[in-house]
Amino acid sequence: MEFHLLKIAEASESIRTLDFRRPGIFTNAVILKPEITSLIHDGDPQDHALFKTSTNASNSVQKHVSPQKPKTHGISVDANETKNWNVDVFCTAVERLAAMYPVPGVEEKVASYRQRWGDLNRDILHYEEIVEEQRRQLAELNISIENRDFADNNNLPLETDPIRLAQVIQDTELEIHRLEEELERKQSEVDQLEGRLGN
């Protein structure tokens, strides 16, 4: 028995005299909870507004005249990009964020964007109606030129003088062209506004 106790004492002494390296930085990394994991958590309710937009917002149908994308410096813009943004959805999301995280001047800017967007949409609808009416009148004038008896047979107050009709048609075509250019300009403004809100 003494022999075994002596061997144990010798082994203990030899282990005690061994030169072990001091504990390093990552010695307990496996068994201790790293502090970085304490930062990971599920999103708070107020954070959810950052990750979602309303999917129930009504998308207004608009006729597009293929407006040219504005040139920008330092930002790559795809000329064939067909992505449409709903400005009202963006404004609503920004208003919700501003309510939780107030920033001076944001509410006024959002209100001005929404007002501008509404004005541009009303202008576009107005010009589309004018262009449609001008095209309808032009079609009636073309019919009257091809068929001189159209006005007499239907008792319509259309011009029968070919020279006068040609002038009216030319004036109408110029007016349609002008209105289409104005419509493109308005649509371009809407796209620029939507692009600024989408970035």
DSSP codes, 79-109: TT------HHHHHHHHHHHHHHS--TTHHHH
For residue range 70-87, list pLDDT tens digits in order: 454 443 444 444 456 678
pLDDT at 157 over 60: no
Q: Sorting pLDDT into bands at 50, 70 and 90, what band is 182?
A: confident
Give how far Cα 28 sits from Cα of 31, 37, 38, Å: 5, 15, 17
- At 30 the pLDDT is 55
> Mean pLDDT for the chain?
71
> What DSSP designation does 22 have?
P
Nearest to 138 by CA among 103, 188, 172: 172
pLDDT at 60 over 50: no
Is the pTM higher than 0.95? The answer reads no
- Sorted by sequence, the CB contacts under 8 Å of residue 93 that are 6+ apart come out as 49, 53, 54
